[in-house]
Amino acid sequence: MSTAWARADQPLAEYFTQAHDAGAKVLHMVSTVPEAARAAEAGADAVVAQGTEGGGHVGLMGTMVLVPMVARAIAPVPVIAAGGLADGAGLAAALMLGAQGALFGTRFLATTEASIPQAYKQLLVDSDGHNTVVTELPDIANSTVWPGAYARIERNRFYETWAGREGELRYRHVEAAASAWRALEAGDTDNAFLYTGQTAGLIDTIEPAGVIVERIVTDASERLRGTGLTD
C-alpha cells in the first residue's frame, strides 16, 4: 500500500496496521524529515523521500539534500529516493545518497504501456525539462488541495490561463476541471494540466517499461562497480 501527504489528524499507525494485517507492505511518501520520522514511527516498511524535481505532488526540497537527511533520520527503515530520477545515473546516485532503491515516475509515462494519450507521451520526449512549474492550480481546480503539497505541471495554456487568478478558479473550479480533463482525454496538451517532472529533459524515446528497467539497472550497476555497493 502506497500513501502520501497525510494530514496531521490522520492516524497513520492505524492505516499501516490494517495494511499489515491484510498482508501488505506499506510505502509512505514524504517531502520533509519530520514527515519521514512520523511515517517510520507509525510502522511504514519503507519511506519514499521525494524531492521537488518530481512531477505531480511535490514539496520544496531537492532530492540531493532530502534523501540523505531522511536516510540518517529514520535508519534502519529503508528509504526509496524519488524526484529527478530517470536513468541509471539517477539510480546509482540514489544508492550513493543512502537510499535502498529508487522510484521513477515521469520516465514511465513515456512507455508503450502507459495509459495516457500519445500526445502527452510525445510532449515528454520533446521536452528539455525546463518548462515545468510548481503550483496549486490543478488542486484548486479539482477542489482537492493537499496540506503542504504543490503540483509540478507542464507550463502550458491551462497554466497561463489561470496563473494569478486562483480566486476566480476557486469559484469556477468545476467548469475548469471538467474542461481540463476533457482536454487530456482528447490529447490536447495545451489545455490539460499535465503532471510532469523535470526529468522530462532526460527522456528521448517511448519504449516498453521492461526495456527501460533493464537499461537502468545495467547502467547503474556499471557505474557502481568498485564502490562496494554492487558486485
- Output the pTM of the full model: 0.93
Same domain, 66 and 93: yes
Catalytic residues: 57
What's the rounded mean pLDDT across residues 12-19?
98
Q: Is residue 86 part of a domain?
A: yes
In contact, 49 and 34? CB cutoff 8 Å: no
pLDDT of residue 145: 81
153 CB-contact burial (10 Å; exposed 0-12 / middle 13-18 / buried 19+):
buried
Whether residue 230 lies inside any domain: the answer is no
59 and 79 inside one domain: yes
Cell (9 digits) for 108? 514511465
Number of domains in the chain: 2
Taking the C-alpha atoms of residue 3 and residue 5, their distance in angstroms, rounded to an integer, is 7
Residue 227 predicted with pLDDT over 90: no
114 located within any domain? no
pLDDT at 230 over 80: no
**Do 138 and 158 share a domain, yes or no?**
yes
Among 191, 148, 144, which Cα is nearest to 170's? 144
Cell of 24: 501488505
- Residue 71 lies inside a defined structural domain of this protein: yes
Q: Are strands 101-103 and 132-135 parallel, antiparallel or unpaired?
A: unpaired
Residues 67 and 146 in one domain: no
pLDDT digits over 105-127, tens only?
Answer: 999 999 999 999 999 999 999 99
Q: What is the pLDDT of residue 229?
A: 59
The rounded distance, in Å, linking the Cα atoms of 210 and 6 is 32
* In a shared domain, residues 6 and 98: yes
Residues 82 and 25 in one domain: yes
Residue 202 within any structural domain of the chain: no
Cα–Cα distance list, 229 to 69, 73, 75, 76, 93 (Å): 19, 21, 17, 17, 11
Q: Same structural domain for residues 89 and 150?
A: no
Shared-domain flag, residues 64 and 140: no
One domain for residues 87 and 157: no
Same domain, 7 and 102: yes
User: 217: domain range?
Assistant: 2-109+208-224
Is residue 120 domain-resident? no
93 and 138 both lie in a single domain? no
pLDDT tier for residue 59 given thresholds of 50, 70 and 90: very high
